[in-house]
Structure 1
Amino acid sequence: MASFSKYKTTEGVFWLIRITLTDPVTREKRKTTRRGFKKLSDAKFAAKQLEAEEASLSKNSKSHYFYKNIFLEFEEEYSKHLKPSTIYRKSVDFKKWILPTFGEKRLKEITKKDCQKYIDFMSTQLKSYKPIVIQARNVFDYAVRNDYIESSPFNNTVYPKTTIFEEDQKLEKFWDKEQSIYFLERLKATDTLKQYALFRTLLLTGMRKGELLALQENDMHDDTQSISITKTLFYDEDGNYQLLKPKTSSSNRDIHLDSETFTVLKDLVRQNKKLRLISGEKVKHKFIFIKESSFDPFRNSYVNEVLNKLCKRFELPRITVHGLRHSCASLLFAAGADIKVVQKLLGHAHIETTLNIYTHVTTEAIEKTTDLLINYLNEPTKKSSGSHMGVTALKKQKNHPN
């Protein structure tokens, strides 16, 4: 409540305000005096403005909080509904890409200009930068929902129309038939049974690496020569592995294996059993792809590291593990497989994902076919009687029959 008093100075008579306000951060009461008003009406108007400002700050009391503090609140809320692997991945993204920019700033200090600058910066750092921007924006949306701020500074920001990344880099690179065969032949001839089994399975089944590393001996079925995908592997920050549900319900599937792949996996299972017998180690989960020192499954990063080395050693185009999955789909399409069958084999939840790969593959096939046509047309024409007669010659023959 404000009180008003007159006071005199050598310059004349003025009005002052005495008002008690609440600190928006500490919530402590503090007395404030404002002087220099020539009219009582001016003093009352100023008092109403101070009270309105206090009410706004009280409503949005956490606008003075640092972004990193609100992020922790937000993280606690959304983590209740996500898998540990997703929480971990998002946490890594926040620490690397978001908190360095916004973490030490108060919510009320972050402007639309700051957010637009952030979007423009991220577009130069990552091909798939938009999910990171959305994560940063979600914290502000959470603050708005909880009345910490009135509106998000990300409102009305825009994504750049073009980025420094080429359009053709949006899809993973993949190997063709000749490269795939060469890779498997070299791998079989020069590497270990485990490496051959691992990458042959990835390339010929299109499994995700988390699905492959989660495979256990009881997932293999001798009667049907198949393997069941029912889980995915995740390592947390403390280095402990967890077995989680697959990415989507469509990811639960049985995959029929060719005879060689099935035989190689069975050989690897027998090798693992011998190792356990020699060591006397009792294990909770009998994984197929294991560290021989601990019988634990490999980390996801291990597969990437080995594949990079193999690409270099075999002088093949560098490809990611997801690129092997793309290669599998490409080979299936080239062999004439139905799109719905490929979708089920790869465990795609949406047919659009499968169609994107199909479109990419068929586009390349069309380009190669066009090249074949041009090469054919550029070949020297062989002289012959009748069969290769030009249009003009045919007309002359028609107009002047023998």
Structure 2
Amino acid sequence: MTDNAPLFRPFRLRGMELKNRIVMAPMTRSRSPGGFPNNDNVAYYERRAAAEVGLILSEGTLTRRRGASNDANIPLFWGDQALTGWKSVIDAVHAAGGKMGPQIWHQGMSRKPGTGHFPDAPCDGPSGITLQGKKVDEEPTEAEVLDMAQAYADAAADAKRLGFDCVELHGAHAYLIDEFFWERTNQRTDRFGGSIEKRAEFAAEAIRRCRVAVGDLPVIIRISQWKSVDYGAKVAITPAELERWIRVLVDAGVDAIHCSQRRILEPEFPQVDGPKGLNLAGWVKKLSGLPTISVGSVGLTSEFTGAFRGEGSSAGKLDEVVERLDRGEFDLVAVGRALLQDPEWAVKVKAERHAELRDYDAKALQTYF
């Protein structure tokens, strides 16, 4: 048994059989001109599937809500041309022996008006409030909110039809679902606003609709405490609040929760269990009983936001991550930049070829497939 053996144990999520515990994290690259995946996108995912990645989660793909994104090079997950491109992707991944799910995404009020595939489309958010707390639009009606939720389910239905193995809803980082979670951006007074349970109801509505759309296909949701505009933000201040939040998602029928942190070894509630305590994925698993995916600068020495400032990162040790996985604190480990730069990362880790693991070059965000 190698030191990294726990990473290469099989795992079953609902009916999806994974050959190991390594997940390719969703990474936006803006490489789908017009919103349509092309042959380069196919090759990008195919290479990782052929090189020991257990589950690939796609870059964020957009719902049919026309104000879903600020970038016309981010892929759509609706419309014949885009879905034809995604069919080519999943067929290639399966031929290479991989499993894959699309991450279904809506940027919410993170999107700047006048940008994206449909510049004239309005932005969507729970209360018409920007991430900075400024009221700029009218609050959407309940009917409009329900259509936002249905848009996730429509994409999920297409994912099942195309042959994907699971779906993930992007509910983190101050995008649409997370804006419903967050008190700063959700000031609603109907069933989608107020207490932490009510602020989680939009996500629950989307999950329930996705379950109807996909049947037994696994449904994952990605969550975070931190926001793109506030790294110190917290939806849940205490474990008790976290349990109230997560319980709504569990009751809605989600199969796994993908817990995004900037650093995977950072304790979520050090005031409770100390500086070596459970991370977010550990606490979510403990409180929910569901499988969790843990992510945050895995295999590198610095957290990911430095990449957007042009900073590199040295290859880092995996010892403590593997130890925590082996103890059952979380079930799957998502790897981002290390796999972005090196499609063979998982193969090298499995073979203990540590000297061949690359330092991260920030230019990889723009140049690597």
Structure 1 and Structure 2 fold alike (TM over 0.5)? no
Q: Which protein is richer in helix relative to its size?
A: 1
How high is the TM-score relative to the length of structure 1? Answer: 0.21
- Structure with the greater alpha carbon radius of gyration: 1
**Which fold has the larger relative contact order, with Cα–Cα distance below 8 Å and residues 6 or more apart in sequence?**
2
Normalised to the residue count of structure 2, the TM-score between the two structures is: 0.22
